């Protein structure tokens, strides 16, 4: 997910240690954005993630010492096309293998492809996309293609592109413009190359972070008006869309897939239940048993973190601002405390609030030696990392994504991923979760593209519950799970259609 600073400067260089970093308040940023911006003054997305750190593909080819910018290279795929820009088209075979592996774990998309052999629900669709370029995205793109769509794609993050996958996509004919380690200038150049093609008017947008949408909205307003629908994945991007909508400037129906049930519960609760353990292990090799941990925030992410750590034998404390979530924490067996009460004794501090300055310099000053601090929430504002960029503290990078911040008296705090998202920076996202998200995106595109006139107005919509249920049902075969069907009599008794939707909209799952 992308963060944007309102002043248009690059606000973070994650690989550079000890640099003073200022993060702007991202919540209000959209309406503050300058209305006229040239390329250089445009704010740039800096990903909090570099999902590639431990991915397999990266290891084959990252040691490449090819320093030439892809923009300066002349490359053609085996069919002679050069309508793409990737690091090295020769890596296509490696990437294809990664894509094939991913296909095996994305049966829902493969099922969609199969069903689309007769009809092509996206025939005529011209989709421009801006997401992380990974093997899973590739499966999505190739599924969209199989459903009839034409696609052009850029990366939503300057670090997260898997070069081999981008090469494989380019080789198989997708106009892809992305590589790992783009500059800010490269980033917008790639987006523009997707959008601005003679004779190609996109009619659908698939976005993750809102940069692509914003670019078209600002630079190509006429093109924007002809878009049939926008599908947006990220909290930030959705926030921007709601602001556009409130301001009366959203002339296109948009689908908020971020708040669909499957995404919320699976991406957050179930995925974080696993990735908190994974992220901590890969960075610190610590043992969980017996460790005292405070988890700030008991939303879906916090619930997942707490459940996992408790199961591994950690003693977990929770902080909350919302009394309902607080009471849930109590009933689930966690001591509800204020951070100050336990900060001196805990071995690990994990933030999952979506809030800012949850862990302050004052807290950091009081932590015990070797305390691990990390963030699982949705942005890097939760830990006041900036407050640690002061002369009396020494930063020492001990591993990738692991810094020791050393106090004058020798106390060390172990800061992971510089306060960015641990689960994106230091662990991988399971393909299964990505499959749910990608299937949701595909269905949202189909829905918006095929919806009869008038079903969707110029507003932001949640995915219809029935489609949420459909996404879920497509993933049940993975678990050899057998759904029960209502009898006619039962359906009548319950007042339900036998095929769903099965729950009222306010149902909480």
Q: How far apart are CA 104 and CA 434, in angstroms?
A: 13
DSSP string, 122-146: TTT-EEEEEE--SHHHHHHHHHHHH
Instruction: Give yes or no for a contact between 127 and 205, defined as CB atoms under 8 angstroms apart.
Output: yes
Does position 409 interact with a second copy (CB under 8 A)? The reply is no
Does position 480 interact with a second copy (CB under 8 A)? The reply is yes
Q: Which is nearer to a second copy, 20 or 63 (CB)?
A: 63
Does position 126 interact with a second copy (CB under 8 A)? The reply is no
The minimum distance between CB 85 and a second copy, in angstroms, equals 28
Q: How far apart are CA 280 and CA 440, in angstroms?
A: 29
Say if residue 469 carries a ligand binding annotation.
no
Query: In the window 322-351, what residues touch a second copy (CB under 8 A)?
Result: 322-339, 341, 345
Query: In the window 96-115, what residues touch a second copy (CB under 8 A)?
Result: 97, 101, 104-105
What is the total count of residues that contact a second copy (CB under 8 A)? 112
Q: Which is nearer to a second copy, 219 or 411 (CB)?
A: 411
The minimum distance between CB 347 and a second copy, in angstroms, equals 9
Q: How far apart are CA 127 and CA 229, in angstroms?
A: 10
Does position 23 interact with a second copy (CB under 8 A)? The reply is no
Does position 8 interact with a second copy (CB under 8 A)? The reply is no
Say if residue 423 carries a ligand binding annotation.
yes
Instruction: Give yes or no for a contact between 423 and 279, defined as CB atoms under 8 angstroms apart.
Output: yes
User: If DSSP codes are grouped into helix, strand and coil, which group holds residue 164?
Assistant: helix
Does position 485 interact with a second copy (CB under 8 A)? The reply is yes
Query: In the window 249-268, what residues touch a second copy (CB under 8 A)?
Result: 259, 261-262, 264-266
For the chain, give me the number of helices (H) and strands (E)? 20, 17
- Candidates 270, 361, 406, 464: give the one binding a second copy (CB under 8 A): 270
Query: In the window 69-98, what residues touch a second copy (CB under 8 A)?
Result: 97
Residue 349-388 contact track with a second copy, rule CB under 8 A, x = bound: -----xxxxx----------xx----------x-------
CA torsion sign for 71, 73, 77, 81 is positive
Q: Which is nearer to a second copy, 83 or 365 (CB)?
A: 365
Q: How far apart are CA 132 and CA 489, in angstroms?
A: 47
Which tokens sit at 222?
A: 């006429």
Beta bridge partners of 415: 373, 403
The residue assigned the tokens 């320093």 is 67
Residues of each annotated binding site: 134, 208, 233, 263, 267, 299-304, 320, 423
């Amino acid at each position: 997910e992308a963060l944007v600073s309102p002043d248009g400067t690059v606000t973070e260089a994650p690989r550079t240690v000890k640099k003073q970093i200022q993060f702007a308040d991202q919540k209000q940023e959209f309406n503050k954005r300058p209305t006229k911006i040239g390329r250089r003054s445009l704010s740039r997305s800096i990903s909090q993630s570099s999902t590639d750190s431990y991915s397999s593909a990266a290891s084959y080819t990252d040691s490449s010492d090819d320093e030439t910018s892809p923009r300066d290279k002349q490359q053609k795929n085996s069919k002679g096309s050069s309508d793409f820009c990737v690091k090295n088209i020769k890596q296509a075979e490696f990437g294809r293998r990664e894509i094939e592996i991913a296909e095996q774990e994305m049966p829902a998309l493969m099922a969609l492809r199969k069903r689309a052999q007769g009809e092509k629900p996206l025939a005529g669709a011209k989709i421009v996309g801006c997401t992380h370029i990974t093997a899973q995205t590739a499966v999505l793109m190739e599924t969209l293609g199989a459903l009839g769509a034409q696609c052009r794609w850029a990366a939503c993050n300057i670090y997260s592109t898997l070069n081999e996958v981008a090469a494989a996509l380019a080789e198989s004919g997708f106009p892809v413009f992305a590589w790992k380690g783009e500059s800010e200038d490269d980033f917008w150049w790639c987006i523009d190359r997707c959008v601005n093609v003679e004779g190609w008017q996109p009619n659908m947008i698939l976005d993750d972070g809102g940069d692509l949408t914003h670019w078209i909205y600002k630079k190509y307003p006429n093109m924007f008006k002809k878009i049939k629908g926008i599908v947006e994945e990220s909290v930030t991007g959705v926030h921007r869309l709601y602001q556009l909508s409130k301001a009366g400037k959203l002339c296109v129906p948009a689908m908020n897939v971020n708040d669909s049930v499957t995404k919320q519960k699976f991406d957050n609760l179930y995925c974080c239940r696993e990735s908190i353990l994974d992220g901590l292990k890969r960075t610190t090799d610590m043992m969980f048993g017996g460790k005292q941990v405070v988890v700030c925030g008991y939303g879906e992410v916090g619930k997942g973190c707490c459940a996992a750590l408790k199961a591994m034998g950690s003693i977990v404390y929770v902080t909350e601002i919302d009394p309902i979530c607080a009471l849930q924490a109590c009933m689930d067996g966690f001591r509800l405390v204020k951070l100050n009460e336990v900060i001196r004794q805990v071995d690990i501090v994990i933030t999952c609030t979506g809030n800012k300055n949850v862990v302050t310099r004052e807290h950091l000053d009081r932590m015990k030696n070797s305390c691990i601090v990390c963030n699982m929430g949705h942005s890097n504002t939760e830990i006041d990392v900036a407050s640690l960029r002061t002369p009396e503290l020494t930063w020492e990078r001990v591993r990738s994504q692991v810094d020791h911040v050393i106090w004058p008296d020798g106390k060390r705090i172990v800061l992971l991923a510089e306060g960015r998202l641990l689960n994106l920076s230091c662990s991988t996202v399971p393909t299964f979760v990505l499959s749910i998200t990608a299937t949701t995106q595909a269905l949202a595109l189909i829905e918006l593209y095929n919806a009869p006139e008038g079903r969707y107005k110029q507003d932001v919509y949640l995915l219809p519950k029935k489609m949420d249920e459909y996404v879920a049902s497509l993933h049940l075969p993975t678990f050899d799970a057998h759904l029960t069907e209502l009898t006619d009599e039962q359906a009548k008794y319950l007042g339900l259609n036998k095929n769903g939707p099965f729950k009222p909209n306010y149902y909480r799952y």
